[in-house]
């Protein structure tokens, strides 16, 4: 089978890329190792940047998001027994926080892709890349029935996430990594919202985050150890920690409900400083990881897809290669800023047992600065709602 662009991975990076290319008349085939049900059922990100929301609308993929998404003016920060609201809409000239879960985004992208005749091959195995430094790279794999198949392409997009293998093909890369000595315990709860916006809390016992999913389902996170096991957290321990870390101001209470999912998420920062090799371009978590605190990972994956689509459009439409050649450099400028912001939010809001008391006071000073200085609040706000695309 021949296709202009072979896309490995049906996450946000791969699926947005397929839609962006299709809009320009460039066809592609998406290969995915998991089943459609698994892809659509994995609970991950929750927050979309304003331009990601606008892009979904532009691509004609925004109808359900407009109806079911939650649009917030800003967020609340809690620390030192105080609660402060940051009004992003005011600070950024009208941009908002959109809570619309990643798996709902993926459901919308998959449905629209299949409806317009685009291909996604789920449940493939043994995906291997060949001939990347030739003009005719190939992907070999086994289809859902275990039979060998081959895809002949002009270009390959490695959108296979942090555990994928496409990055290993990028020769001459340098990898930067930073580990954090904590993780998040994430829970899904059957309960009404306790607050109309997200609450990020720094507390002596550790970070806590109140988020939402729908009017009946809430998402909450609790700082835990990096290798903790979700099964070791009984429900009553989770609730007592959430109450202690979030109920730090008079008159506000957290509504409990049935916890129906628990998982532990590791925290790391990672950047691969080359994102292309011959006809292979890698995008999204395949090339970079951020800790979840800044809500940047999904959005950053989509930004890579936008830059790659622009490069491929120039190649097919005008025979120009300069944007493709500049792909890594263009992406890295945005990636390092998102890495900085995610690291800043993470270090400012978590209790790090490895830090000395001086460093802990610095983080409180940082929070105090953010809530009292319009300049500092604006800097946080413009990063949170998403810096403009280059
Ligand atoms: P992925 O979503 O990982 O997709 C890669 C796909 O490739 C997968 O479906 C995988 O099965 C497939 N694959 C792997 N190997 C192969 C192969 N060899 N062949 C074929 N297919 C393959 N980000 C935000 O922006 N906002 C948030 O609020 C946020 N919160 C988060 C909360 C949690 C708990 C977690 C875990 C993450 C969060 N993130 C958030 C990060 C976000 O989920 C990821 O950054 C995003 O999924 C990256 O998209 P991707 O397409 O690059 O990779
Ligand atoms: C969610 C995840 C985040 O990382 C974040 O900063 C805010 C919300 C969420 O899953 O709802």
Q: What's the average model confidence in pLDDT over 381-388?
A: 97
Ligand 1 atom at minimum distance from 14 CA: 51
Q: Is the pLDDT of residue 336 over 90?
A: yes
pLDDT band (50, 70, 90) for residue 274 = very high
What is residue 19's predicted lDDT score, i.e. its pLDDT?
Answer: 98
Number of neighbours of residue 106 by Cβ within 10 angstroms:
22
Which ligand lies nearest the alpha carbon of 220?
2
Q: Whose CA is nearest to atom 53 of ligand 1?
A: 161
Residue of the CA atom closest to atom 5 of ligand 2:
295
Instruction: Write out pLDDT tens, residues 202-261.
Output: 999 999 999 999 999 999 999 999 999 999 999 999 999 999 999 999 999 999 999 999
Give the Å distance between the CA of 71 and the centre of ligand 2.
14
Residues 115 and 38: their CA atoms lie apart, in Å, by 20
Mean pLDDT of the chain: 97
Active site residue 72: yes
Q: Which of 22, 70, 296, 350 is catalytic?
A: 296
Query: Is 19 among the catalytic positions?
Result: no
Closest CA to 21 of 131, 109, 138: 109
CATH 3.30.9.10 residue window(s) in the chain:
183-265
Q: CB of 165 closer than 6 A to ligand 1?
A: yes
344 included as an active-site residue: no
Q: What whole-number distance in Å separates Cα of residue 252 and Cα of residue 193?
A: 12
Q: 122-178: per-residue pLDDT in tens? A: 999 999 999 999 999 999 999 999 999 999 999 999 999 999 999 999 999 999 999
Task: Look at residue 165 in the predicted model and tell me its pLDDT.
Answer: 95
Is residue 290 within 8 A of residue 297, CB to CB? The reply is yes
Q: How high is the pLDDT of residue 375? A: 98
**Count of H helices and E strands in the chain?**
12, 21
Q: Is the pLDDT of residue 25 over 90?
A: yes
Is the CB of 101 within 6 Å of ligand 1?
Answer: no
265 lines ligand 1 (CB under 6 A): yes
Q: Cα of 287 to ligand 1 centre, how many Å?
A: 11
**384 an active-site residue?**
yes
DSSP 117: T
**Proximal ligand: closest to the CA of 294:** 2
Minimal-distance CA residue to ligand 1 atom 29: 45
Give yes or no for a contact between 137 and 153, defined as CB atoms under 8 angstroms apart.
Answer: yes
386 C-beta closer than 6 A to ligand 1 = no
Fold that domain 2-69+98-178+268-352 belongs to in CATH: FAD/NAD(P)-binding domain (3.50.50)
Ligand at shortest distance from the CA of 29: 1
Ligand 1 pocket mutation pick from 7, 12, 101 by most atoms within 8 angstroms of CB: 12
pLDDT of amino acid 45: 87
Ligand 2 geometric centre to CA of 28 (Å): 31
H/E element, 157: strand 148-158
Query: What pLDDT digit, counting tens, does each position of 46-91 carry?
Result: 999 999 999 999 999 999 999 999 999 999 999 999 999 999 999 9
Determine if ligand 1 sits within 6 Å of the CB of residue 9.
yes
- CATH number for region 183-265: 3.30.9.10
The average pLDDT across 303-310 equals 98
Provide the token pair at 173: 């890369």
Residues carrying CATH 3.50.50.60, the chain = 2-69+98-178+268-352
Distances (CA, A) of 370 to 288, 314, 365, 378: 27, 42, 9, 8
Report residues whose beta carbon is within 6 angstroms of any ligand 2 atom: 45-47, 198, 209, 211, 219, 292-293, 295
Q: What residue owns the CA closest to ligand 1's atom 47? A: 298
In the prediction, which pLDDT does 172 show? Answer: 97
In testing the pocket of ligand 2, which one of 187, 221, 266 has its CB within 8 Å of the most ligand atoms? Answer: 221
- Cβ proximity of 7 and 110 under 8 Å: no
Q: Pull the structure tokens for residue 239.
A: 């609730």
Pocket test for ligand 2, best of 12, 44, 47, 262 (most atoms within 8 A of CB): 47
Taking the centre of ligand 1 as the mean of its atom positions, its distance from the CA of residue 224, in whole angstroms, is: 22
Task: Report whether residue 160 contacts ligand 1, using a CB cutoff of 6 Å.
Answer: yes
DSSP state of 359: H
Task: Give 390's pLDDT tier (boundaries 50, 70, 90).
Answer: confident
How much is the pTM? 0.97
Query: Which residues fall within 8 angstroms of residue 342, CB to CB, at 6 or more apart?
Result: 269, 290, 291, 292, 293, 294, 296
- pLDDT value for 145: 95
Atom of ligand 2 nearest to the CA of 43: 10
In this predicted structure, the answer to whether residue 376 has a pLDDT above a threshold of 90 is yes
**Helix, strand, coil: what percent of the chain each, to 5?**
40, 25, 35
**Share above pLDDT 90 across residues of the chain, in percent, rounded to a whole number:** 99
Q: Both tokens of residue 201?
A: 């809390």
180 is known as an active-site residue: no
What number is the ipTM of this complex?
Answer: 0.95
């Amino acid at each position: 089978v021949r296709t202009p662009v072979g896309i490995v991975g049906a996450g946000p990076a791969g699926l947005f890329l397929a839609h962006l290319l299709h809009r320009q008349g460039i066809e592609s085939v998406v290969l995915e190792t998991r089943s459609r049900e698994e892809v659509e059922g994995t609970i991950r990100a929750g927050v979309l940047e304003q331009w990601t929301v606008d892009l979904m609308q532009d691509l004609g993929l925004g109808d359900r998001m407009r109806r079911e998404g939650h649009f917030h003016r800003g967020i609340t920060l809690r620390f030192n027994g105080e609660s402060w609201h940051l009004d992003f809409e005011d600070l950024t000239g009208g941009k908002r926080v959109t809570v619309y879960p990643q798996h709902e985004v993926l459901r919308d992208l998959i449905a629209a892709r299949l409806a317009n005749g685009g291909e996604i091959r789920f449940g493939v195995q043994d995906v291997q890349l060949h001939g990347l430094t030739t003009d005719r790279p190939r992907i070999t794999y086994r289809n859902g029935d275990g039979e060998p198949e081959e895809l002949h392409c002009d270009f390959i997009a490695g959108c296979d996430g942090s555990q994928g293998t496409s990055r290993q093909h990028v020769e001459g890369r340098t990898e930067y990594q930073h580990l954090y000595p904590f993780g998040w315990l994430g829970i899904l709860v059957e309960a009404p919202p306790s607050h109309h916006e997200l609450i990020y809390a720094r507390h002596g016992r550790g970070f806590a985050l109140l988020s939402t999913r729908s009017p009946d389902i809430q998402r909450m996170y609790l700082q835990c150890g990096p290798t903790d096991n979700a099964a070791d957290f009984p429900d009553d321990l989770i609730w007592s920690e959430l109450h202690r870390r979030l109920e730090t101001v008079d008159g506000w209470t957290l509504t409990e409900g049935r916890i129906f999912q628990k998982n532990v998420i590791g925290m790391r920062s990672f950047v691969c400083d080359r994102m292309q090799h011959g006809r292979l371009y890698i995008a999204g978590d395949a090339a970079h990881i951020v800790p979840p605190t800044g809500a940047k990972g999904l959005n950053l994956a989509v930004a890579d897809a936008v830059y790659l689509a622009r490069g491929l459009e120039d190649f097919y439409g005008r025979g120009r290669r300069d944007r493709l050649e500049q792909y890594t450099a263009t992406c890295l400028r945005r990636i390092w800023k998102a890495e900085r912001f995610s690291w800043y939010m993470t270090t400012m809001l978590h209790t790090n047992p490895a830090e000395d008391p001086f460093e802990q006071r610095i983080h409180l000073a940082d929070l105090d600065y953010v809530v009292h200085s319009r300049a500092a609040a604006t800097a946080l706000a413009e990063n949170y709602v998403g810096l403009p695309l280059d």
